Amino acid sequence: MVKTADLAEARAWAAAAATPDPEIPPLTVADLGILRSVKVEGRRATARVSPTYTGCPAVLAIEFDIARRLREAGFEPVIERALAPAWTTDWITQEGREKLRAAGIAPPTAAAGKAALLGAPPPACPRCGSEETERLSEFGSTACKSLWRCETCREPFDHFKCH
């Protein structure tokens, strides 16, 4: 038999997890792995969120949206910002990586972590799959992405940087 507390936690998790990233709307906070946990005690739902990096300009918008969604689901929201352990792109789910690719953004290499900063191979083009790509700029449409171009299809694309 499922406990009422388990149902409440599942409902709170679902509400918080549906929060889209304001900079990459096809992805949710769950896809990105920044929603670390949701705990329910009575009517209070505490969501732990790890920003993608400390200076992320979207973190307040994300926290406000999670709180709003929890409130709409009938909970009293508490948002805890978790800075340790630091978020890593390894936490992006496989579904999140596919959503990035579908949005024309090359996902970071899975399980690359910090080692990827020391000379990872160039990302494959999210449009045609070619590995013949070149970096145009260290910064793309947001600080967490870099701008690349495919040498095969000649299309520019963002690459989600490894952290």
Read off the pLDDT of residues 59-94 as tens digits, 9 standing for 90 and up: 999 999 999 999 999 999 999 999 999 999 899 999
Quickly tell me which residue has 């967490």 as its tokens.
144
**Where a domain ends, among 81, 110, 126?**
81
Q: What are the CA-CA distances from residue 126 to residues 97, 120, 122 (Å)? A: 11, 17, 12
| pTM of the predicted structure, to 2 decimals | 0.84
Considering its fold, how many domains does the chain have in total? 2
Print the domain residue range for 64: 4-81
What residues pair up with 20 in beta bridges, in sequence order? Answer: 28
CATH code at 62? 3.30.300.130
Phi/psi for 6 (5° steps) reads: -65, -40
User: How confident is residue 49, by pLDDT bands cut at 50, 70 and 90?
Assistant: very high
Looking at the structure, do residues 114 and 142 belong to the same domain, yes or no? yes
Looking at the structure, do residues 73 and 8 belong to the same domain, yes or no? yes
Quick check: 1 pLDDT over 50? no
pLDDT at 119: 66
**Where a domain ends, among 81, 109, 142?**
81
> In percent, how much of the chain has pLDDT > 90?
72
Comparing 145 with 132, which gets the higher pLDDT?
A: 132
